[in-house]
Amino acid sequence: MYYLFNFRSKMFVATAIVVGLLWFFYKNWVSTYSYWKKRGVPFYPAKFPYGSDPNLVKFKEYRGYTVDKMYRELAPEPMFGIFVLRKPMLVVRDPEIIQQILTKEFSHFRDRGIIKLSDKDVINHHLFNLDGERWRALRIKLTPTFTSGRLKTMFPLFVSCAESFSSLLLSKVDSKVDIKELTGRFTADVISSCAFGLDTDVINHPDNKLRNIGIEGIKLKFLMKLKIAIIRLLPGLSSLLPIRFISVEDEDYIIKLIKNIVEQREKNAIVRNDFIDLLIQLKNKGNLGDDGQEFEKPFEMTMELMAAQCFVFFIAGFETSSSVQSFCLYELALHQDIQSRLIKEIDETIEKNGSLTYKAVQEMEYLDMVISETSRKYPTVPTLVRQCTKSVTLSAGQDIEKDTMIIIPVWSLHHDSQYFVDPDKFDPERFSKENRDSIVPYTYLPFGEGPRMCIGMRFGLLQTKVGVVTLLRKFRVEPCEETNIPLVIGGNSATTASDKPIIIKLKARY
């Protein structure tokens, strides 16, 4: 009897300890949920363990939809707090405060703070992920890469890929096509040519290793979601749990690929006027300027760093441009009047210039309006993220503490009727010369704003426009019975993408 009593006593004590530890863990976890209340900031309530909404952790729903629910429920508050797991974040919706964060007080919000980079995960050390002085130094060096003059020099590479794209489309006449799949082949070829100097012919050979790396790199897989959640809770573990967008095998493949290309070009004095050429110049001379001046702080362009820049250039350019093109062509299929007007402009401008030239693309004003409206309705990223690097008081009087994460709800701003009348309507006239100036600054953010806005904006727009022009020169697009109306955006991608294939019909114009 004594031993039985003793055993039960020990079990009771053990159970009490476990329950106590669980209770302590729970209380410690939820204690942060009073963070915004203590600071007098309106907030979306949180529940253990996910915080304000499970979808901010599980990514089962498109992030833009999730944040938009909160955005609308807490209107018209200029800013409001949310919790992701137990981490407080501040959603800013007032355009003037957004301008302060992205531009006026940029020095206080320079970093993205999304992940902590591991030295082992070298492919992640690219411009999008870098913070602090390393970001600034590399940004200064890479900015001249995407000037109009350099894009004009690269334009023959765009045209060469466009010719192959046109041939592919001819084989699909009167067919129902997954337009994202086709535009994805075109953009993969353009990026491979301009970033890696490779003639990959992805258009005719879609099962290309680089393209497959790009497709996989944009997906939010379970293990990736789990790592992100753990690092948000315990940032100190970032060195033990590196966030890999691609496997070690694929990372080694890209580094070896870049190394071989660089060695071949330097050995044989090959000049191709592409991104690799510019990185080689940075490696050898330290700058892209014509005056030969060095930057004040040395910045070594190693082979691994070159590979990282090529990787992000490929991932970003491949995915974003193909998505914008597919969304654009989907809307044109549903709006035949807009499509007819755009075709008329394309035909007249190309006839005037004699061929598809860089100058011709720049002259297509209605095309720019159509692409701008596509980017409004389907922004590539639903939110912008910034980290406060130095405590600051915003113009609204709110004190923002160091390390506070800021969310700028791009999708919600683009779909707010306060800024864009009838926001679900596809209306390129919003971006006409007469109307563009009436758009409230910092409510249209497809490429971000301020010193950290997308460095490849010009390249991405040019690639997107060339793809759309190439298709509409010879074809029209129409909806069919398999066309999903309306489109639903999926949650398992880091960018804005339809959860199902975008199926439309190609019809020959002649």
Residues annotated within the binding site for heme are: 454
User: What stretch of H or E contains 508?
Assistant: strand 503-508
Give CA–CA dist 478/485, Å, rounded.
13
User: What stretch of H or E contains 226?
Assistant: helix 222-233
Three-state DSSP at 319 gives: helix
Compute the residue count for the chain.
Answer: 510
Backbone angles phi, psi at 45, to 5 degrees: -60, 155
Contact 369, 335 (CB under 8 A): no
User: What stretch of H or E contains 58?
Assistant: helix 55-58
Rg (CA), the chain: 25
Contact 267, 280 (CB under 8 A): no
Give CA–CA dist 353/337, Å, rounded.
25
CA dihedral sign, ordered 13, 18, 19, 25: positive
Give CA–CA dist 383/97, Å, rounded.
15
Contact 314, 209 (CB under 8 A): no
Q: Please list, in sequence order, all residues whose beta carbon lies within 8 angstroms of the beta carbon of residue 139, skipping any fewer than 6 positions away.
A: 127, 451, 452, 455
What 202-207 contacts at long range (C-beta under 8 Å, 24+ apart), as own/partner pairs, is 203/161, 203/164, 203/165, 203/167, 203/168, 204/164, 204/168, 206/181
Neighbours of 35 (CB within 10 A): 19
Q: In the structure encoding, which two tokens stand for residue 181, read together?
A: 């799949």
Q: In the structure encoding, which two tokens stand for residue 340, read together?
A: 């007819």
Short-list 186, 177, 179, CA closest to 206: 186
Q: Which residues are annotated as a binding site?
A: 454
Contact 70, 39 (CB under 8 A): no
- Residue for token pair 């900015």: 143
User: Cα torsion at 25, 27, 28, 31 (round to 10°)?
Assistant: 160
Q: Please list, in sequence order, all residues whose beta carbon lies within 8 angstroms of the beta carbon of residue 396, skipping any fewer than 6 positions away.
A: 78, 79, 94, 97
Give CA–CA dist 452/135, Å, rounded.
10
